[in-house]
Amino acid sequence: MSMSYALVHYPNINTEHINQIRQKYDPQFDLMEPHITLVFPIIESINENNLILHVDSILSKWTTFPIYLKGLQKSWDECMFLMVEEGKVDMVKLHNELYTGILAEYFRENLPFVPHLTLGKFTKDTDKLLQVLEEAQHLDLNYRCFVDQVHLINIDDKQRSIIWSKEFILRN
């Protein structure tokens, strides 16, 4: 069974408009709620307990911080992103700290981390991309919230389902 681990933040916002778009364009719509990924899926067999301890030790130094989701951007791999405008520096710092220790070998130096919430994927379909851009601009997506929890999720890559999820709470 092929599985992977990822670390995500589910923003505490009204996701109705975001999901209106995701339902049409995001292949991960049924897999999980709108989220910001902090650690991208790691496929290899990594020791679960060690991973939990690592995440816990990094997060223990962190307190809740505000973010502001606003602005759209197309990614290098044909996705439409809702950007993290404020709180971006904190997100990048947290991302970089997480990719130390047992996660150090997975850090992608060639790919700068861009904090975002994915609205859809388009693989070369420019019409669809322009369509979603227009829809999203029309909905005026902008949200303020706090990064106060993150979830370590274990994904069954074959079933495309989340097997389990562990919540970590950031200090106030």
Q: 29 Cβ partners below 8 Å, 6+ apart?
A: 19, 22, 23
Q: What is the amino acid identity at position 102?
A: I
Note the pLDDT of residue 50: 96
List, for residues 104-152, the tens digit of each pLDDT value: 999 998 889 999 999 998 877 778 888 888 889 999 999 999 999 999 9
Instruction: Report d(CA 14, CA 37) in Å as an integer.
Output: 18
Torsion angles phi and psi, residue 106, rounded to 5: -95, -5
Note the pLDDT of residue 129: 82
Q: What is the mean pLDDT of residues 42-65?
A: 94
Q: Above 70 in pLDDT, residue 5?
A: yes
Q: Name the CATH topology of 3-169.
A: Cyclic Phosphodiesterase; Chain: A, (3.90.1140)
From residue 28, give the alpha-carbon distance in Å to each of 79, 91, 102, 140: 12, 22, 27, 22
Q: What is the mean pLDDT of residues 53-76?
A: 96
Note the pLDDT of residue 1: 65
Note the pLDDT of residue 158: 82
Note the pLDDT of residue 57: 97
Q: Are 41 and 155 in contact (CB under 8 A)?
A: yes
Q: What is the mean pLDDT of residues 92-101?
A: 98
Q: Could you tell me what percent of the chain has a pLDDT over 70? A: 99
pTM to 2 decimal places: 0.94
Q: Above 90 in pLDDT, residue 35?
A: yes
Q: Above 80 in pLDDT, residue 159?
A: no
